[in-house]
Amino acid sequence: MEIYLFYGNNYSIIEDKINNIILKNNIDANNVIKYDMENNLDNIIEELSMNSLFGDKKAVIVDITFKKEVNDKKIEEFLDKSKNNSNILIFNCANEKIDTRRKIYKIINKYGKIEELNKNHDYVVDYIKKSLQDNNKSMDINYFLSKVNDDLDNIKNELDKLILYKINDSHIENSDIDNLVIPNIEEEIFVLSDSVIKKDKKKSIELYQNFLNRNYEPIYIISLLGSQFHFLYQVKRLYNQNKSNDEIASILSAHPYRVKLTIQNSYIYTEEILLKKIYELANMDKNIKLGNIDKNLALEMFLVEG
């Protein structure tokens, strides 16, 4: 019997892994059975011990938590005598840290395969590359990632949308990404902060109005701008310390492309200018909350004065 334990910080990644195993083994949807480990061990063992109606392979997916005790002895006895069983047993332990000292971990590791599946930059890039390759498409992956948030489900949806839109073309242009992808608010705040530093008043007010039209509160925009200017300050400071792009991205846990764009524009501003903007936004936030100034007027003045 094939036995797997998948765990990690993202349910979607684990779900994809499980679905790939099911597809690879040509398991019919009717032969995919799901259980929760708690109070269902006997049912799980019975399910795996029985053949399907037509003798096809079954996949039994068991949601398990390492925070609760299980009958280790009973599980090990079953797995030991099921080596020639043709079914597949998958333990799903998403969004949980695993205690490798636990007996159940050692049992699964003895009879099967354990894999930690976490979302990181390399995983996301590899996922996008494979999706593009499977659909005979190409595009600037870094540009795409700069336009979407880091939610994997959102990345999948936006990627599927682009692939479908360019069904008759092999290359997805940056203009296609601009036209179709729902804007990532971090990217928009980056553009807004950039226009403030460049003293592009018209663009700053235009972007601000777009936020208001989508019902973003000025206080929220001030908070995002403060975070963005703080990020710019950190990048500038590390860059002045002769850190490489990759080192900066690693230190700040930031997307490498975002760091690259920030460094490209870093000649525009000094550390002192960025600190001034950070203090201005902090004071603005404080005065708005104290009722000393109108929130809309305060932010508009900040954007116009640059």
For residue range 154-179, list pLDDT tens digits in order.
788 899 999 999 989 999 999 999 88
Q: How far is CA 108 from each of CA 8, 64, 159, 247, rounded to the nearest angstrom? A: 16, 12, 36, 38
Q: Give the DSSP letter string of 122-151.
A: HHHHHHHHHHHHHTT-B--HHHHHHHS-S-
Does residue 139 surpass a pLDDT of 90? yes
- Which H or E run includes 35? strand 32-36
Task: Dig out the tokens for 266 from the structure.
Answer: 């870093």
Average pLDDT value for residue range 123-132: 89
Q: Which fold has domain 185-305?
A: Zinc Finger, Delta Prime; domain 3 (1.20.272)
* CA–CA dist 210, 303 (Å, integer): 14
CA angle (113, 114, 120) in 5-degree steps = 135
**Helix boundaries (H) for the chain:** 11-24, 41-49, 72-80, 103-111, 121-134, 141-147, 152-165, 174-180, 185-197, 201-213, 218-240, 245-252, 256-264, 271-289, 295-305
Measured in whole angstroms, the distance separating CA 238 from the mean position of its chain's CA atoms is 25
pLDDT digit string (tens) for 70-96? 888 898 898 888 888 888 999 998 766
Angle of helix 271-289 versus helix 218-240 axis, rounded to 10: 160
**AA letter at 20:** N
The residues pairing with 7 across neighbouring beta strands, listed in sequence order, are 93, 116
Domain range annotation of the chain: 2-116, 128-180, 185-305
Residue pointed to by tokens 């305060």: 298
Q: Which residues pair with 62 in a beta bridge?
A: 35, 91
**Burial classification of residue 148, based on how many CB atoms lie within 10 Å of its CB (0-12 exposed, 13-18 middle, 19 or more buried):** buried
Tens of pLDDT, residue by residue over 53-65, are 666 788 999 988 7
pLDDT (mean) for 278-306: 89
Q: What is the pLDDT of residue 94?
A: 79
Whether pTM > 0.75 for this model: the answer is no
Q: Which of 214, 210, 227, 222 is nearest to 293 (CA)?
A: 222
Asked if residue 3 lies in contact with residue 113, where contact means CB atoms within 8 angstroms, the answer is: yes
Domain 2-116 sits in CATH at: 3.40.50.300
